[in-house]
Each structure stands twice: as C-alpha cells, then as structure tokens.
A and B are shown apart, each in its own frame.
Chain A
Amino acid sequence: NAGVTQTPKFRILKIGQSMTLQCTQDMNHNYMYWYRQDPGMGLKLIYYSVGAGITDKGEVPNGYNVSRSTTEDFPLRLELAAPSQTSVYFCASGGWDTEAFFGQGTRLTVV
C-alpha cells in the first residue's frame, strides 16, 4: 500500500517563482490536509478538504491555493514564493473517524 505520496521530496525555489506540491492517496479517504512544519512551531494547517470539490482554509492559508478535483489528489500551489514559505510541507488524509495518515513531506527552501 502506497498510502499518502508527496512529490517532490526536496525543492529550492527562487523568490517570486511558483510551484505545485503534489499529494495523492490510495486509501479512498474523503478528508485531506496540508500542513507546514516550522522548527519549534509544530504543524500548522494550511488548507483542508472534506471531499472532492470542497476545500477550506486552515490557520495559515495566505500565499497558497489548493484544488480537489478527485478523491485521490490534493495539490498545493504556491504563487510568488517568499522566504517565509521555507518549511517542510506535509500532506495527510483520513476517514471520518480514522487517524490521519501522513506523507513523507516536502522540504522547500525559498532563496
């Protein structure tokens, strides 16, 4: 079972560039999440989705966009990358009453 797969694992962006972080899950989960992990700050929710076609903002949505056209995929888009977006990004999925299953993370550096 692949579970939750994120790509890429690492990326260096220049200020002002854009990119999409990919996330796909094969567990048929309705719920999907994007978190960022900053040192000493824990995980903060960026966006989440409760099903295909439905997305909502988390704590720190500014500078990001998401879409959920299928149950499996939940890409995160960064427009006009800024140094403050340097972080480790985690995608997760879960069922209504299950734990959240996490991807391996994407380490992003904006220079």
Chain B
Amino acid sequence: AQRVTQPEKLLSVFKGAPVELKCNYSYSGSPELFWYVQYSRQRLQLLLRHISRESIKGFTADLNKGETSFHLKKPFAQEEDSAMYYCALRKAAGNKLTFGGGTRVLVKP
C-alpha cells in the first residue's frame, strides 16, 4: 500500500528566509504527487501537482523518483505563507488520494 510521510509537524521560519517542506512516499509504481494547502479557516486547496511543473505563489516542488521524495520549496517565505501543508499521492488518474500527516508552517515577521 502507498504511504506518504511528512517528517516535520511544524516549521517556523522568519519572513524572507527559505523554507523547505519534506515529503517522502512509498509506492512501487509511478504515482502522481500533489501539495495541498489549508489557510486558517479555509478549505484545503491545491497548491501544486507534479505533472504541471509550474510555480505557484513562489513555491516549487520536484519529484525525485530515486529518493521517492516531493519536497516543497520557497526561497523567500512571506507571512501569508503561514498555513498547514499536506503532501498527497495518487497511484493513477481516477484513484483516491493518500495524504501525509501535514506540516504547519509559521512565518514570523
């Protein structure tokens, strides 16, 4: 069965500092990877999916199949990036999402 691990429950950084959220997965096939974000009092929403290979709100994520990782990075964190971030995996289109435990990011002024 597939599994998604986010080793950091909390990341606290200062505004303007780089931030990296780690995501590791276990699945023997070629999955689709996603990052979802949940801002305070808002619903979960998609931030990135690996097949689109685009940068959203300054965030990027690269799928590393050798290391089975999909880490999320932003070079200069902003206060509005404070939120809960979830990494998720889908075995293939039409399949269900498996989520990691989430990482809370706190960006201090």
Contact = CB atoms under 8 A, between A and B. Distances in A.
Interface of A: 4, 31, 33, 35, 40-45, 48, 50, 58, 90, 92, 96-97, 99-100, 102-105
Interface string B75-109: 00000000000100000011011111110000000
Given A31-B94, A43-B102, A45-B96, 8 more contacts: A33-B97, A41-B101, A42-B6, A50-B94, A58-B96, A90-B44, A99-B46, A102-B43
Interface of B: 4, 6, 9, 34, 42-46, 49, 86, 93-94, 96-102
A58 to B, nearest CB: 7
B86 A43 contact: yes
Contacts, number: 47
B39 to A, nearest CB: 12
Determine chain B's interface SS by DSSP, over half rule. Answer: loop
A44 B98 CA distance: 8
Contacts of B43: 4, 90, 102-105
Determine chain A's interface SS by DSSP, over half rule. Answer: strand
Given A96-B93, A96-B94, A99-B49, A42 B101 contact: yes
B45 A102 contact: yes
A9 B100 CA distance: 24
A90 B77 CA distance: 28
Contacts of B6: 42
Contacts of B44: 90, 92, 102
Contacts of B102: 40, 42-43
